[in-house]
Amino acid sequence: MPMTKYLGTLRINKVKKTEAVDIIIDLCNSILLKVHNPALPNLKAGDWDQVLSLAAEQGMLPIIAPLLTDLTFDDEASRMMLVEWYAIAQSNQQDYKLRKNIMCEMANMFAKEGMDILFMKGASLAQLYPNPEWRVFSDIDYYLYGQSERGIKVMEQNGIENEGYYHHHTQASLNGILLENHYDFVERVNHKCDIILDDALKTLAEKEGHSLRASFLGENINNAYVMTPTMNAIFLMRHMSAHFVSETIPLRMLYDWALFLKHHAKDVDWTLVDDLYDKSGMTEFAGLIQHLLKTKLCVEYSDCPVFPFDVGKLDKLWQSIIYPPEQDPYKKFSFIYYLFEAKTFWKNRWKHEIVYPGESFAWLFCKYAWLGTKKMLGLLK
């Protein structure tokens, strides 16, 4: 009998979603941030099903999964529910290994052509976790130090075809994994503030982008690097804010940031970063994130400055994490797909005021609507 029969069938005595989030955070704080010793709450099977489902949605299931071995239930349905969630979490270990192998393959491919590669997010952030295999990620983002076009040709010679994207990177696939070749670190098309950040990141890539080897890939990989702490302080905050304004921030991103500060806050050039946050209008968002770390994740790092923010917006931001927008259920690039996207975009206009202060939301809305129309008409490839 397939295990999927049991998934989601035990939600009888439901805990509230806010309570489920509190349970997830309490467990993750104990495991990842060592705030206190982990202690499993006394929940019924149906409640655990809901908590684990939400943990998976927020990218935190693999962190909690090792604790499931301490749970016991008398009935088969409850036991099989736990087994399935544990199996889902364990599959992330294989996902991590697959992506790590692909990164090695890419590094070797470019090494033959005398090219270096800088990996972003993903596996590099996973090294901050007690177990790298706990960190959920899907695609592989990388930067070729200004040689994006040459990289596309090298990949083509190795049977990997790239396709264009709206902005800042091309896309390819290898063994079913999406590869994003960044010619820009962040998009420069729709937001002038991003040009400031992208210019700074490219300058830093030239200045210090070869200082940290991706040693987790093995001693034989000598041309692969990861972002420096100062680069990550800029890139991660902008990446997080871009996700926030378009959809939501999963808890995984908050823990990425918390673990990054735990390990590297002291190594960041905060004078430079603070100035870039200010010039790009990102100070308020950064302040809100810092306060979430203090009030929800129960951690503060003295090496990271405290940024000003509007406390009145904090609860609304937190609620948007707990209750994210519904995923678009329609066929991609269809009329109803774009209609759904437009509605979501309009509902998120309050986020635009935080992330892109001073920029016209109406103009951006019209611009995206025109791009969607051209895509539907086949005028945009």
From residue 257, alpha-carbon distances to 107, 233, 359, 366 in Å are 26, 9, 26, 33
Is the predicted pLDDT of residue 144 greater than 80, yes or no?
yes
Is the predicted pLDDT of residue 212 greater than 80, yes or no?
yes
**Helix, strand or coil, per DSSP, at residue 210:** coil
Distance, CA of 283 to CA of 238 (rounded, Å): 11
The chain-wide mean pLDDT, for the chain, equals: 90
User: Model confidence over 80-123: pLDDT tens digits?
Assistant: 999 999 999 999 889 999 999 999 999 999 999 999 999 999 99
Is the predicted pLDDT of residue 375 greater than 90, yes or no?
no
Distance, CA of 108 to CA of 100 (rounded, Å): 12
Distance, CA of 134 to CA of 142 (rounded, Å): 21
Is the predicted pLDDT of residue 131 greater than 60, yes or no?
yes
| pLDDT, average across residues 192-197 | 94
| pLDDT, average across residues 342-347 | 88
pLDDT band at 377 (very low <50, low <70, confident <90, very high): confident
User: Model confidence over 256-307: pLDDT tens digits?
Assistant: 999 999 999 999 999 999 999 999 999 999 999 999 999 999 999 999 998 8
Residues 6 or more apart whose Cβ sits within 8 Å of residue 22: none
What's residue 107's pLDDT? 98
Distance, CA of 317 to CA of 241 (rounded, Å): 11
Is the predicted pLDDT of residue 126 greater than 90, yes or no?
yes
User: Model confidence over 29-75: pLDDT tens digits?
Assistant: 999 998 888 889 999 999 999 999 999 999 999 999 999 988 989 99
What's residue 259's pLDDT? 98
The pLDDT > 90 percentage for the chain reads 72
What's the alpha-carbon Rg for the chain, to the nearest Å?
Answer: 21
What's residue 381's pLDDT? 55
Q: Kind and range of the H or E element at 182?
A: strand 177-182
| pLDDT, average across residues 147-152 | 94
What's residue 108's pLDDT? 98
Contact 250, 323 (CB under 8 A): no
What's residue 373's pLDDT? 76
What's residue 5's pLDDT? 32
User: Residues 91-106, buried b or exposed e (16+ Cβ, 10 A)?
Assistant: ebeeebeebbebbbeb
| pLDDT, average across residues 318-338 | 88
Is the predicted pLDDT of residue 160 greater than 90, yes or no?
yes
Per-domain residue ranges of the chain: 3-91, 325-381
pLDDT band at 166 (very low <50, low <70, confident <90, very high): low
What's residue 38's pLDDT? 81
pTM: 0.91
Contact 138, 178 (CB under 8 A): yes
What's residue 292's pLDDT? 95
What's residue 380's pLDDT? 58
